[in-house]
Amino acid sequence: MTTVRYFAAAEEAAGLASEQRTESTLDALRVGIVADHAGLAGILPRCAVLVDGCRHDDDVALSGSETIDVLPPFAGG
């Protein structure tokens, strides 16, 4: 299963720090997490979503062993 970790405002919006998911593409994952955590709908488009530490296109296939990080924009420097 793919591990999704939420940080800062994304964690607050999702109501949890991490979860296990089964979607097969990054796009399907985005749709699934918003369906399950409606609070993410407003923030997810502004978040960096990293697959094993790297940005990818939404059509990237997920094998189920990845770690996905959902990072909202951070204020400050």
Q: Is the pLDDT of residue 77 over 70?
A: no
3-class SS at 5?
A: strand
Helices (H) and strands (E) in the chain, counts: 2, 5
CA distance 20 to 5: 9
Q: What is the pLDDT of residue 74?
A: 78
Contact present, 40 and 34 (Cβ < 8 Å) = yes
Contact present, 59 and 26 (Cβ < 8 Å) = yes
- The number of CA neighbours under 13 Å toward the Cβ of 44 is 21
Q: What is the pLDDT of residue 76?
A: 58
User: 42-75 pLDDT, tens per residue?
Assistant: 999 999 999 999 999 888 999 999 999 999 987 6
Confidence of residue 14 (pLDDT cuts 50, 70, 90): very high
